[in-house]
């Protein structure tokens, strides 16, 4: 059980760190674009943001597998849900899908397609805030499960079977 707990804590630290870096970089980028920062500064912030996206994407499959293994299918659906995410509806979207939607909106804001009206930065900021709330709710549930010892395959399988 201690190994599962340690693994879950390591997962929480790493995912939390990568997600928070991505969220912070995206917000800096959004504000630079909105406030018409010098092009070089905006470009550097954009590149910094893309590095955080790449860091997330590089380990995403591992994170998805670890969420399932450590916390079970209900938590995995909060992290990534291919069925709910197919609709691309924000309210139903998993954390992963929300990150994708947000990235696409921020990309269009950074380099607006010629056939689209620029996105309202307040709307993008609202999406960012929603992601923050989802992240904190996800972390909260992970922490609760760690504290209660409900980590590792047997613990969530047992919890699922008793529902």
In the chain, the domains with their CATH numbers are 2-161 (1.20.120)
Type and span of the H or E element at 147: helix 121-148
CA angle at 47 for the pair 45 and 49, rounded to the nearest 5°: 70
Q: What is the pLDDT of residue 162?
A: 46
pLDDT at 158 over 80: no
Per-residue pLDDT tens over the stretch 141-151 = 999 999 998 89
Per-residue pLDDT tens over the stretch 101-126 = 999 999 999 999 999 888 899 999 99
pTM above 0.85, yes or no: yes
* Among candidate residues 70, 72, 81, the one with its CA nearest the CA of residue 161: 72
pLDDT at 1 over 70: no
The Cα–Cα gap between 33 and 91 comes to 26
Q: What is the mean pLDDT of residues 4-24?
A: 93
């Amino acid at each position: 059980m201690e190994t599962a707990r340690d693994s879950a804590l390591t997962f929480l630290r790493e995912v939390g760190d990568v997600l928070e870096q991505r969220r912070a970089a995206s917000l800096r980028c959004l504000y630079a674009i909105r406030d018409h920062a010098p092009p070089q500064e905006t470009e550097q912030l954009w590149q910094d943001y893309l590095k955080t996206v790449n860091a997330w994407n590089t380990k995403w499959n591992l994170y998805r597998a670890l969420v399932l293994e450590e916390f079970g299918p209900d938590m995995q659906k909060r992290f990534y849900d291919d069925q709910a995410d197919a609709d691309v509806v924000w309210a139903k979207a998993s954390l992963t899908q929300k990150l994708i939607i947000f990235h696409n909106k921020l990309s269009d804001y950074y380099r607006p397609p010629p056939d689209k009206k620029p996105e309202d930065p307040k709307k993008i900021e609202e999406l960012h805030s929603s992601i923050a709330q989802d992240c904190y709710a996800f972390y909260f549930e992970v922490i609760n499960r760690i504290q209660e010892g409900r980590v590792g395959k047997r613990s969530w399988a047992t919890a699922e079977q008793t529902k």
